[in-house]
Amino acid sequence: MMGKFIFITGGVVSSLGKGIAAASIGKLLEARGLKAAMIKCDPYLNVDPGTMNPFQHGEVYVTDDGAEADLDLGHYERFTNIHVSRDSNITTGKIYYSVITKERRGDYLGKTVQIIPHITDEIKRDIMKASRDSKADVTIVEIGGTVGDIESLPFLEAIRQMRWELGEHSAIDIHVTLLPYIKAAGEQKTKPTQHSVGRLREIGIIPDILLCRTERPISKEQREKIALFCNVEKEAVVEASDVEHIYEVPLSLKEQGLDDLILKRLNIKRADKGLSNWKRYVVDRLKNPKHEIKIAVVGKYISLPDAYKSIYEALVHGGIANNTKVNIHKVDSEDLEKGKSLDPFLADAQGILIPGGFGERGIEGKIAAVQYAREKRIPFFGICLGMQVATIEFARHVCGLKEANSTEFNKSTAVPIISLLEEQKHIKHLGATMRLGLYTCKLIKDSKSFQAYQQESINERHRHRYEFNNEFRKTLEAKGFVFAGQYPQKGLVEIIEIKDHPWFVACQFHPEFQSKPDKAHPLFREFIRAALKRVNK
Ligand code: GLN
């Protein structure tokens, strides 16, 4: 079978959960025995989101092959068995960069280089390449932004052309839209959806299926009205109502037969394997947990839910594995001041997690939170910057190295316990110059980490510049710091633990990117398990 395509666009407003809808469709296709691939097209001019502020863009997701990518790729991997890569995220910046490079090289042989056909051809080529390389039966292409944005026009034109070129039954268009409910009128409104579909039709895209985000059920009359005015069949008006947990979305879409609808349109016949495991293990446990727990996440981007997306999800996964509802208590590290009691922020947490981050702001608050967790024997999980501050704290307060710091925060510190490697010191550009993507880590057997993974060699994703400075290894070890994992080729420290503590584990990599609802990451699973023990004391 030649690879087929599903193009997903969004209308009316942003933040409709298009990424989750797309990921859920990927899940539905896999449940029908199809191999799916997923691509996110982002219309912004940044080449990748690597240098973007998390407050604006949310988390930067990292792929196995070290791409800094849009956070929707995280949803794709969490919901499906797909492995995303560098090719799974196409931005306007990437497309222009490539076209302009070709132009400078003279590849266009003197032609005038234009948005159509050169930019659109480049987009089509990248989509086709990603699809071909993945050997997928069906490739889902999500177009970021909202229909009507100037920026996304070249992407829409490219997918319009692709559908035309691929021919019947080879591609379909799904439009995710909003049916707002006007309380004062007591009515659900279809007009914004009609306008959005009208806008799509003007540029030659005729949606086959509408996924209507709505707070209330769609009545029969409204469904008929939407079908008539938007040129879709009644059965193709699918209700995407608000659900309690995002992992319920695939079930709710399947109940309405969205997978049958898609397969019919793409002329594919496959048996249905169903989603009963997902329902039983993920959704039922989320809805009826046996235990409940409170975990404090101490970071500087806590006001934006998307900034630590994968961390929050991985905590939920750790909860599912332990049949536990995880209540996440977000603590702004800048609120934790030195010398002031941390009790009001942390006393009732059964576990404390410090996620990754960049820059000096809020660092002292994080160090104070580590000290609190260490001294009060609260299970602690540090990730990337979280490992670096845990190391600084231990050096300062246990080893007496009062000036211990990272050269990221104090270039001339007398005790550079976290620093750049010699080979990195000349780097000037900020884009993609970090240790990025998968690296192997060897674990020592006598460690909490080994107990969690149950294997000696693991592969985890990275995104950082600074490293533990091995000159200080012995000093810390002598006081009970455990170097539980390292990258053998270069002797870089990947995991640290504290011996005399119920559960104090911190890693230089980002385990959150490989956690799934039906397969929690071992460290998140064990962190929640340790935290639960504290509750039960
Ligand atoms: N800023 C630190 C570094 O670059 C940590 C990065 C992170 O937490 N992702 O090494």
Q: Residue 319 has what pLDDT?
A: 97
Q: Is the dihedral of CA 222, 226, 229, 233 positive or negative?
A: negative
Nearest-atom number in ligand 1 for the CA of 386 is 8
CA distances from 441 to 296, 380, 453, 534 (A): 27, 20, 11, 29
- The answer on pLDDT for 496 being more than 90 is yes
pLDDT bin (cut points 50, 70, 90) of residue 536 is very low
Q: Residue 537 has what pLDDT?
A: 45
- C-alpha–C-alpha distance, residues 409 and 367, integer Å: 13
DSSP calls for 107-168:
TTTTPPP-IIIIIHHHHHHHHHHHHHHHT-SEEEEEEPS-TT-STTHHHHHHHHHHHHHH-T
- The answer on pLDDT for 12 being more than 90 is no
Q: Residue 15 has what pLDDT?
A: 78
- Determine which one of 41, 384, 399, 507 is catalytic: 384
- The answer on pLDDT for 140 being more than 90 is yes
Mean pLDDT for all residues in the chain: 93
Return the amino acid letter for 161. Answer: Q
Q: Residue 430 has what pLDDT?
A: 56
- The answer on pLDDT for 281 being more than 90 is yes
- Determine which one of 57, 512, 521, 526 is catalytic: 512
Task: Give the burial class of 493: count Cβ atoms within 10 A of its Cβ; 0-12 exposed, 13-18 middle, 19 or more buried.
Answer: buried
Q: Kindly report, residue by residue over 389-405, the tens digit of the pLDDT.
A: 999 999 999 999 999 99
Return the amino acid letter for 269. Answer: K
Q: Kindly report, residue by residue over 183-216, the tens digit of the pLDDT.
A: 888 888 999 999 999 999 999 999 999 999 998 8
Q: Kindly report, residue by residue over 290-316, the tens digit of the pLDDT.
A: 999 999 999 988 888 888 999 999 999
- C-alpha–C-alpha distance, residues 535 and 531, integer Å: 7
Pocket perturbation via mutation, ligand 1, pick of 53, 62, 435, 463 by most ligand atoms within 8 A of CB: 463
Query: Worst-scoring range by mean pLDDT, 116-125, 260-269, 427-436?
Result: 427-436
Q: Residue 337 has what pLDDT?
A: 75
- The answer on pLDDT for 165 being more than 50 is yes
Pocket perturbation via mutation, ligand 1, pick of 366, 464, 467, 492 by most ligand atoms within 8 A of CB: 464
Q: Residue 431 has what pLDDT?
A: 54
- C-alpha–C-alpha distance, residues 333 and 346, integer Å: 11
Q: Kindly report, residue by residue over 411-449, the tens digit of the pLDDT.
A: 999 999 999 876 666 555 555 568 999 999 999 999 999
- The answer on pLDDT for 332 being more than 90 is yes
Q: Provide the whole-model pTM.
A: 0.94
Ligand 1 binding pocket includes 108 (Cβ within 6 Å): no
- C-alpha–C-alpha distance, residues 404 and 425, integer Å: 20
